[in-house]
A and B are shown apart, each in its own frame.
Chain A
Amino acid sequence: MSELTRLSATEARQLLDSKAITSVELTEAHLERIAEVDERVHGYLHVMTDVAREQAQRADNAIQSGQAAGLTGIPVALKDILCTVDAPTTAASHILENYVSPYDATVVKKLREQNAVFLGKANTDEFAMGSSTENSAFGTTRNPWDLNRVPGGSSGGSAATVAAHEAMLSLGSDTGGSIRQPAGFCGVVGLKPTYGRVSRFGLIAFASSLDQIGPFSRTVHDAALMLNTVAGHDPRDSTSINTEVPDYTASLGYDLTGKRIGIAREYTIEGLEAGVSAAFDAAVKVLRDLGAELVDVSLPHTEYALATYYITAPAEASANLARFDGIKYGNRKEEATLQETYLRTRGEGFGPEVKRRIMLGTYALSSGYYDAYYVKAQKVRTLIKRDFDQAFEKVDAIVAPTSPTVAFPIGSRTDDPYQMYLADVFTIPANMAGIPGISIPGGLSDGLPVGLQLLGKAFDEATLLSIAHAYEQATDWHAREPARLS
Chain B
Amino acid sequence: MSLSLEDVNHVASLARLGLTDAEKETLREQLSSILGHIEVLSQLDTDAISPTAQVIEVDNVMRDDSASPSLTQDQVTQIAPRSEKGFIAVPSVLGGPDEGGSA
B55: interface (CB < 8 Å): yes
Q: Which A residues between 356 and 396 are near B, CB-CB below 8 angstroms?
A: 356, 358-360, 362-363, 366, 373, 375-383, 385
Structural contact, B55 and A375, CB atoms closer than 8 A: no
CB nearest to A99 among chain B residues: B79
Per-residue interface assignment for chain B, residues 1 to 39, with 1 indicating a CB less than 8 Å from any chain A CB and 0 otherwise: 001000110111011111110010011001101110111
Q: Is B31 a contact of A355 with CB atoms below 8 Å?
A: no
Q: Are B46 and A327 closer than 8 Å at their CB atoms?
A: no
Interface of A is mostly: helix
Contact B98 A373 (CB under 8 A): no
Inter-chain contact A380/B44, CB cutoff 8 Å: yes
| Distance in angstroms between the alpha carbons of A383 and B48 in the assembled complex | 11
The verdict on A328 contacting chain B, using a C-beta distance below 8 Å, is: yes
A108 to B38, CA, bound (A): 37
Cβ–Cβ < 8 Å partners of B88 in chain A: 327-328
Cβ B81 vs Cβ A102 within 8 A: no
Residues of B within 8 A of A340 (CB): 91, 96-98
- Is there a chain A Cβ closer than 8 Å to B54's Cβ? yes
Residues from chain A with a CB closer than 8 A to the CB of B49 are: 379-380, 382-383
Are B96 and A337 interface neighbours, CB within 8 A? Answer: yes
Nearest CB in chain B: distance from A194 CB, A: 9
Contact digits for A8-19, partner B, Cβ 8 Å, 1 yes 0 no? 000000000000
How far, in whole Å, are A346 and B50 apart by their CA atoms in the complex? 35
**Which residues of B (53-77) have their CB < 8 Å from a CB of A?**
53-56, 58, 61, 63, 71, 75-76
Q: Across the interface, do A355 and B27 meet the contact criterion of CB distance under 8 Å?
A: yes
Closest CB in chain B relative to A216 CB, distance in Å: 24
Complex Cα–Cα for A366 and B96 (A): 25
Residues of B within 8 A of A339 (CB): 16, 96-99
Cα of A318 to Cα of B61 in the assembled complex, Å: 25
Per the bound structure, the CA–CA distance linking A343 and B3 in Å amounts to 21
Partner of B18, one of A307, A347, A385: A347
B11 contacts A195, CB within 8 Å?
A: no
Across the interface, which residues of B come within 8 angstroms of A153, CB to CB? none
Binds B, one of A48-56, A233-241, A253-261, A475-483: A233-241
Given contacts A307-B38, A337-B96, A362-B15, 10 further A-B contacts (CB under 8 A): A103-B71, A311-B41, A318-B15, A327-B88, A342-B16, A347-B20, A376-B46, A380-B44, A382-B49, A458-B55
What 9 pairs across the A-B complex have the smallest Cβ distances?
A: A337-B96, A347-B18, A434-B55, A378-B51, A343-B18, A332-B81, A379-B46, A339-B98, A209-B54
Q: Can you list 15 residue pairs at the A/B interface with Cβ under 8 Å?
A: A102-B76, A195-B55, A310-B34, A311-B38, A325-B16, A328-B79, A337-B96, A339-B99, A340-B91, A347-B18, A359-B11, A362-B11, A376-B46, A380-B49, A382-B51
